[in-house]
Amino acid sequence: MKFGFDIDDTLINLREHAFHIYNKKLNQSLPIEAFHKLERVEIHEPFGLTDEQGSQMWNSTLEEIYYTTCPPFPDAIELLQELEQNGHEIYYITSRPKEHGERTMEWLRALGFPIKENQFFYGMQDQEKVHIIKKLELDYYFDDKPDVLNTLLEESATKVFVKDQPYNRLVKLPRIVDLSEIKEIIHRK
């Protein structure tokens, strides 16, 4: 079967990683509770930044956010390796900017994610992912972002799952909290 995954905040814990970086960079020590309380994708609010400042902060910190020690979610690497070993195809679909595609692929590979170059897509807008997902005829797709998920609500050929996050609770699609649940989903079929 064909499995598609978003990367940031679906396979790896990017926002929380960025939250720690913001604390350091802005010389603050906001508790992690401030992060868990966030109900939007963007993380700048508790630091007292406006949306514009927040977006500047994100872009000027991107390099550090993307390529340092962002941890994968529990079971992510093992699960994808196992799927691949069992003959499934793994596709990555990330809206990380074009100029970060190749490096992101190498960074993930070094962690142990199984990646084939022609099964790694990047640089599209959130709303454009749906076209790639359809074209690839994925059996399963996993993502965290409402802007992406809302384009997939009517999708019947692909089983779309929400990776549960505080900011996507209103999206009415089946959801998983832990990636390990994916194995049960396959067996349930």
Residue ranges in contact with Mg ion by CB under 5 A: 6, 8-9, 144-145
Q: Catalytic residue, from 8, 9, 143, 144: name it.
A: 8
Burial of 106 (0-12, 13-18, 19+ CB in 10 A): exposed
Tokens, residue 125: 């807008």
Report in angstroms how near the CB of residue 148 gets to Mg ion at its nearest.
7
Q: Which is nearer to Mg ion, 57 or 143 (CB)?
A: 143
- Establish whether 147 is a catalytic residue: no
Q: Is 178 a catalytic residue?
A: no
Q: Which is nearer to Mg ion, 4 or 187 (CB)?
A: 4
CA 177 and chain centroid, separation? 13
Please state the length of the chain. 189
At which residue do the structure tokens 């093992």 appear? 78
**In the 8-state DSSP scheme, what is residue 96?**
S
Of residues 44 and 145, the one with the C-beta less far from Mg ion? 145
Least separation in angstroms between residue 7's CB and Mg ion is 7
The CB-of-76 to Mg ion minimum distance in angstroms stands at 13
Question: Any idea which residues carry the catalytic annotation?
Answer: 6, 8
